[in-house]
């Protein structure tokens, strides 16, 4: 439900009212009973839920294949780096123990 802004033409009182779009607009000021008008609001952010709203939802199958290949190659190289660093640290420990 939207929040509407109102302003009294007589006393200048402005206020916001949270009401349904189908609900009748207010006609009288709650402070002085004068005539009020509904102002054009700033609006709020829009929240898109579900699939179909993001650029990645409509990517080609070729794009998805390349992304999977890149992810696999990145994870393989990371595993190799991890093994290399593990073996280096073991050899360093052996050297330190020998001293």
Could you count the other beta carbons within 10 Å of the beta carbon of residue 38?
13
Structural domain spans, the chain: 3-39
Q: Is 37 helix (H, G, I), strand (E, B) or coil?
A: strand
Euclidean distance between CA atoms 10 and 34, whole angstroms: 6
Q: What is the pLDDT of residues 51-68, one digit of tens each?
A: 666 666 667 788 888 889
Q: What is the pLDDT of residues 10-43, one digit of tens each?
A: 999 988 888 888 888 888 999 999 999 988 766 6
Question: What pLDDT is attached to residue 98?
Answer: 57
Euclidean distance between CA atoms 39 and 75, whole angstroms: 56
Instruction: Provide, rounded to the nearest whole percent, the portion of the chain with pLDDT above 70.
Output: 65
pTM of the model as a whole: 0.41
Question: What pLDDT is attached to residue 32?
Answer: 92
């Amino acid at each position: 439900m939207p929040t509407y802004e109102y302003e009294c033409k007589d006393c200048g009182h402005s206020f916001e009212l949270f009401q349904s779009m189908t609900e009748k607009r207010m006609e009288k000021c709650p402070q002085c009973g004068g005539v009020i008008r509904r102002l054009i609001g700033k609006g709020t952010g829009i929240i898109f839920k579900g699939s179909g709203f993001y650029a990645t939802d409509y990517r080609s199958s070729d794009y998805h294949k390349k992304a999977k290949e890149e992810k696999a190659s990145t994870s393989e190289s990371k595993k190799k780096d991890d093994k290399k660093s593990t073996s280096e640290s073991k050899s360093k420990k052996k050297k330190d123990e020998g001293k």
